[in-house]
Amino acid sequence: MTKILFSGLTVFSILLTALTALAQREHDERPTIENFKGIQYAGDDSTFYINFRFRMQSRLKYTSVGGDDLAAESFEARIRRLRLRMDGYIYNPKFSYSIQLGFTRGDQDVDDTDIPNLVRDAVVFYNFTDNFYVAFGLNKLPGNRQRVNSSGELQFAERSLVNSTFNVDRDFGIKAYYSPKIGSIPFHFKGAISTGEGRAANLTDDGLAYTGRAEFLPLGEFSNGGDYYEGDLEYEELPKLSIGGGYSYNDRTTRLHGQTGKYIGIPLSLHTSFYDAILKYRGWAYQVEYMKRGVDDPITIDSEGEMAYAFKGQGVNQQLSYLINRDAGYELAGRYTWIKPHDDIRVFETQTEVVELGLTKYFRAHRLKLQLNAHYQISDGTYRIDHTGNHWGGTFQIELGI
């Protein structure tokens, strides 16, 4: 009994130490193996290292029937995300790896694939230099900024509707990352060739996906990797700016949204472009993201007469936030999202806008935070509360992780 009690106290003290340690920045594009403060193990001969992290999001969400009817259309009370991540290396730090597992239904793409996809990341890296490395396996594609950012680094409870509509998500393939400095200006170049079928694929067809992204930081590096998390938690004393953009071509995918969505009988080719920027200065943070998707023929009808369509159109998301009290960790944020479908699918989709406000209390940066969000969704550009399709919503979320 004494040994069991001692072991329990030891585990608890390790977790407490990890939570109160300096917050670790999470970069999905490479494993975190330097200056890690948390649960970790290294082999005696220094040829093996692994660290463990977890995070969970507990959520309550309400959506109204309409703009003038506050009765509940739906309630959501669930664990939105529960993830375990393992980073490390074998043989030497040049050969590193990252594994991430998701344990909730919303993380497993069950509704579209009928398969619980537990594995989110399983990727091996080789670092030629500190600024040039390649990856082979399953992880995020170098797409739009908000998608590349970890969901644990967001200032709202969820990414924007623009991201969920147009992002290129995760895929299996080979990726390359190069981060040179041209003069004094940092650049990031990223490219990938992948299967185009996303996480659930067991066999792939002969069409591949090609994705590229470039970023430049004309005012120098952000503090503590601040260009890859939302909100100016570092309180930048000098303005910092990152501008990025890219393109993805998914050739003959068999899923409606490329790497995500339901399977279809007739393949589609998707063209997705994205441009974004993030600016931070003395507690203020502003980010903007524009995405556009083209599909030659977005409506498909299979041999059994079943019709489906891919979303073709464009969208913009903007977020502005201010760290009200740096020491207490309170942040106020606003978000405006606009999505316009192409004329080819106007019979199925309407223009959608979302106005959202968020209040966040950070206890340990993004590792432990409380989030309270409220939004109003507008259909067809008509803001009247009695307009069909408009509704209100609210979300409360607790995020805890290491």
Round to whole Å and give the CA distance between 76 and 365: 26
Helices (H) and strands (E) in the chain, counts: 4, 20
- 322-357, pLDDT tens digit by residue? 999 889 999 999 999 999 999 999 999 999 999 999
Over 90: is that where the pLDDT of 137 sits?
A: yes
- 34-68, pLDDT tens digit by residue? 778 789 999 888 889 999 999 999 999 999 999 99
Full residue range of the structural domain in which residue 339 is found: 2-401
CA atoms within 13 Å, Cβ hemisphere of 62? 12
Give the residue from 92, 11, 9 showing the smallest Cα distance to 54: 11
Cβ within 8 Å of residue 285, ≥6 positions away: 155, 230, 231, 232, 278, 279, 319, 320, 321, 322
In a 10 Å sphere around its CB, with 0-12 CB exposed, 13-18 middle and 19+ buried, how is residue 109 labelled?
Answer: buried
Q: What separation, in Å, do the N-terminal and C-terminal C-alpha atoms of the chain show?
A: 29
- 5-42, pLDDT tens digit by residue? 434 434 334 333 444 444 455 555 778 887 787 899 99
Residue 265, token pair as written in the block: 């009988």
> Tokens 């969208």 correspond to what residue?
315
**CA angle, residues 191, 245, 259, in degrees to nearest 5:** 55
Torsion of CA 172, 173, 178, 179, to 10 degrees: -10
Whether this model's pTM surpasses 0.85: yes
- How many distinct structural domains can be found in the chain? 1
In a 10 Å sphere around its CB, with 0-12 CB exposed, 13-18 middle and 19+ buried, how is residue 85 labelled?
Answer: buried
Q: 144 near 291, Cβ under 8 Å?
A: yes
Helix (H, G, I), strand (E, B) or coil at 316: strand
- For residues 110 and 233, the model is more confident at 233
CA atoms within 13 Å, Cβ hemisphere of 4? 1
Round to whole Å and give the CA distance between 49 and 90: 7
Q: How far apart, in Å, are the Cα atoms of 336 and each of 160, 161, 194?
A: 9, 10, 32
CATH of the domain at 320: 2.40.160.10
Cβ within 8 Å of residue 331, ≥6 positions away: 155, 231, 321, 322, 323, 324, 358, 359, 360, 361, 362
Element (H, E) at 57: strand 48-64
